[in-house]
Amino acid sequence: MKKLNVILVYNKDENKILMCKREKDPYKGKFNLVGGKVEQDEDEMHAAYRELQEETGITKDDITLTNVMNFEYKMSDMELEVYAGKLNKNVKLVEEVNKLYWIDKKENFFDKEKFAGEGNIGHMIAQADIFKNEIF
């Protein structure tokens, strides 16, 4: 089974979420969470921190991640792991491929015209908000 991850990165004040704007399909031109592939035999948490650092420059020293949920897409033979964390300080972002943006947490993340994931991003953020005391 192919494994991917996405990471909900909240700023220090918990009022913005870090997103990238997709440069290629799927979801070209839409905002998405940062993340990527889990390599075969790679520890999932290690993969989340590795992808986060590669795509944003954010390191383990800047944030503590928690695995908040996983989605298994049986027809695609794929699992998507969702992590969340809050920055413990301000950081200078380093873009890898996609441009990075801080999006206000009040945004409608269920808007499929603006955000990737068929509304899943909105669901992930809503769940993270419910359990933010355990996550942060």
Average pLDDT over residues 42-54: 97
46 CB contacts (<8 Å, ≥6 apart)? none
Q: Kindly tell me if the per-residue pLDDT of 62 is higher than 90.
A: yes
Domain boundaries, the chain: 2-135
pTM listed for this prediction: 0.95
Give the rounded percent of residues in the chain with a pLDDT score beyond 70.
100
2-135: which CATH topology?
Nucleoside Triphosphate Pyrophosphohydrolase (3.90.79)
Average pLDDT over residues 104-121: 97
DSSP letter assigned to residue 74: G
64 CB contacts (<8 Å, ≥6 apart)? 85, 86, 88
Average pLDDT over the chain, rounded to an integer: 96
24 CB contacts (<8 Å, ≥6 apart)? none
The two structure tokens encoding residue 112: 């499929």
CA distances from 104 to 14, 15, 42, 100, 127 (A): 9, 6, 33, 13, 17
Average pLDDT over residues 110-119: 96
Q: Kindly tell me if the per-residue pLDDT of 97 is higher than 90.
A: no
> Does residue 126 sit in helix, strand or coil?
helix
